[in-house]
Amino acid sequence: MLERVIDPEKIDVQADCIEMSELYTGERVKNGRILKGFELVEIGEGDGIEVIGNCRDIMGIHVLVSGVTEDSAQAIESIFSEVINRMKGVEYRFRKENVRIIVSEEIKEKFSAECVGRVIYDAIKAIPAVRSVKVRIICDENEFIKIIEKSRGIHEVREEKSRNLKDSDVSRFYGCVSCQVYLPHHVCIITPDRPSPCGTLYGEAKAAEELKLVHYYFPVDRGRTIDEHKGEYEGVNRAVEEMSDGTITRVKLHSVLDSPPSTGNYAEAIVFYIPEENGFGIVDRSCGKKTPVGLTFDSMEKIIVGRQVEGFLGISFAYMKSPEFLKGDGGWNRVVWVSPKIYEYIMEFLPYELLKKIRTTS
Ligand code: SF4
């Protein structure tokens, strides 16, 4: 059961410690200090702000909330990027265990763990259903490692839970246009079988939209099925066309070769077509090496980000576990190469018969 807890207008967080405005959302910070982070909201008791360690190059944000459901708790994670991106000279990228906070030189004296803690605390405390909030800003390395592991486990359990739901079980998907502050024509469609390229799960998008926690999620009525195999629906096409300003008119949710979804800013991995092998490769963001098509993750991302490019597709690790993964193009049967981190990941769940046909590089 979800509670309607906040109106987007009410996320009006101001801080004495740093200049904040919605106008700074979308600001790109180049050459700033990069802090590695994670985001975790779980049900728990406590009140106030706790800073653990001195923040140099890491900053985990761990929140305990009470008074809301588990669905609401996971949706509250959406608030972090929303409010931190409103800080002048600060950019918050990626999600869950891959967060990067980039702090510009000009603002580095003002940006502090206490300030981030205060802003997050105030934003969550403004949610009427929330009874108590404890914000823990973790800069101590040992505690960071301990909680990021915990966070990974909790997010895996949430993913597992959401896998029980299929695209065919629901008549409503969710769209996200958060990346439009950088990429004006990009739209993500998030379904039970297709978490977004940045890793947002259907349940998270649904809860965040129903709670009106942030303004960028919207419901998408699936409408008539055009192609069940590739995942094409009339309502999805209509929504994408409208939200992309007519730039994209057709999307097949489970295809990379034929009208694939466009790729947002925070894709965890990219699927690419290898013509010589009539198969696919998948490279993750941490892989700096060239792939079999001669491109690195970064160079591919520059070509496809914000666009629908047949033969390339931004995806999340969670989507790799979906039974509908690239179903329209043959799924795992067509994958011939993956980067080492992905190989390690798929070893956990892919049957040996499929795994043995996939090579990687060391
Ligand atoms: S990648 Fe998609 S789901 Fe993720 S923030 Fe961008 S638009 Fe939203």
Ligand 1 atom nearest 81 alpha carbon: 5
- Do 94 and 174 lie in one domain? The reply is no
- Do 199 and 270 lie in one domain? The reply is yes
Neighbours of 335 (CB within 10 A): 25
Alpha carbon distance 294, 283 (integer Å): 12
Ligand 1 centre distance from Cα of residue 280 (Å): 23
Q: Which residue has the tokens 């800080």?
A: 87
- Do 213 and 249 lie in one domain? The reply is yes
195 lines ligand 1 (CB under 6 A): no
Tokens at 65, concatenated: 């909330």
- What pLDDT was estimated at residue 48? 95
Judge contact between 199 and 96, C-beta under 8 A: yes
Alpha carbon distance 361, 342 (integer Å): 11
CATH number of the domain at 206, please.
3.40.970.20
> Would residue 318 count as lying in a domain?
yes
Residue 350 has, within 13 A of its CA and on its CB side, a CA count of 21
Cα separations in angstroms, 360 against 2, 46, 273, 321, 344:
43, 46, 15, 18, 10
Q: By alpha-carbon position, which residue is closest to atom 1 of ligand 1?
A: 264
Alpha carbon distance 214, 3 (integer Å): 15
Ligand 1 atom nearest 200 alpha carbon: 3
Judge contact between 114 and 17, C-beta under 8 A: yes
- Do 89 and 180 lie in one domain? The reply is no
197 lines ligand 1 (CB under 6 A): yes
Ligand 1 centre distance from Cα of residue 87 (Å): 20
Please report, to the nearest 10 degrees, the dihedral formed by the alpha carbons of residues 81, 11, 203, 229 taken in order. -70
> Would residue 360 count as lying in a domain?
no
> Would residue 25 count as lying in a domain?
yes
> Would residue 259 count as lying in a domain?
yes
Tokens at 306, concatenated: 């914000």
> Would residue 155 count as lying in a domain?
no
- Do 282 and 326 lie in one domain? The reply is yes
Alpha carbon distance 97, 76 (integer Å): 15
Phi, psi for 177 (deg, rounded to 5)? -125, 25
CATH number of the domain at 110, please.
3.30.1650.10
> Would residue 296 count as lying in a domain?
yes
Ligand 1 centre distance from Cα of residue 175 (Å): 9
Of 90, 120, 139, the residue at which a domain comes to its end is 139
Domain count within the chain? 2
Of 91, 124, 139, the residue at which a domain comes to its end is 139
Judge contact between 115 and 18, C-beta under 8 A: yes
Name the residue of 39, 218, 265 to mutate for ligand 1: max ligand atoms within 8 A of Cβ.
Answer: 265
- What pLDDT was estimated at residue 12? 59
196 lines ligand 1 (CB under 6 A): yes
Q: By alpha-carbon position, which residue is closest to atom 5 of ligand 1?
A: 178
DSSP annotation of 84: H
- Do 210 and 311 lie in one domain? The reply is yes
Read off the pLDDT of residues 60-118 as tens digits, 9 standing for 90 and up.
999 999 999 888 898 899 889 989 999 999 999 988 999 999 999 999 888 999 999 99
Ligand 1 centre distance from Cα of residue 45 (Å): 30
Alpha carbon distance 33, 90 (integer Å): 10
Give the pairing type, strands 335-338 and 232-233: unpaired
- What pLDDT was estimated at residue 1? 41
List the chain pLDDT tens, one digit each, 362 residues.
444 344 445 555 667 889 998 888 888 898 899 999 999 999 999 999 999 999 889 999 999 999 998 888 988 998 899 899 999 999 999 889 999 999 999 998 889 999 999 999 999 998 888 999 999 999 999 999 999 999 999 999 998 888 889 999 999 999 999 999 899 999 999 999 999 999 999 999 998 888 888 889 999 999 999 999 999 999 999 999 999 999 999 999 999 999 999 999 989 999 999 999 999 999 999 999 999 999 999 999 999 999 999 999 999 999 999 999 999 999 999 999 999 999 999 999 999 999 999 999 86
Read off the pLDDT of residues 129-142 as tens digits, 9 standing for 90 and up.
899 999 999 999 99
Cα separations in angstroms, 61 against 27, 93, 94, 294:
21, 14, 13, 37
- Do 319 and 270 lie in one domain? The reply is yes
Alpha carbon distance 306, 188 (integer Å): 10
- Do 211 and 296 lie in one domain? The reply is yes
- Do 178 and 259 lie in one domain? The reply is yes
Please state the pTM of the whole predicted model.
Answer: 0.85
Give the pairing type, strands 188-190 and 225-227: unpaired
Maximum separation of any 2 CA atoms in the chain, in Å:
59
- Do 116 and 243 lie in one domain? The reply is no
- What pLDDT was estimated at residue 8? 44
- Do 83 and 198 lie in one domain? The reply is no
- What pLDDT was estimated at residue 9? 52
Burial class (CB in 10 A: 0-12, 13-18, 19+), 170: middle
- Do 19 and 117 lie in one domain? The reply is yes
Q: What range does the domain containing 218 cover?
A: 167-355
Tokens at 61, concatenated: 């944000």
98 lines ligand 1 (CB under 6 A): no
Ligand 1 centre distance from Cα of residue 63 (Å): 22
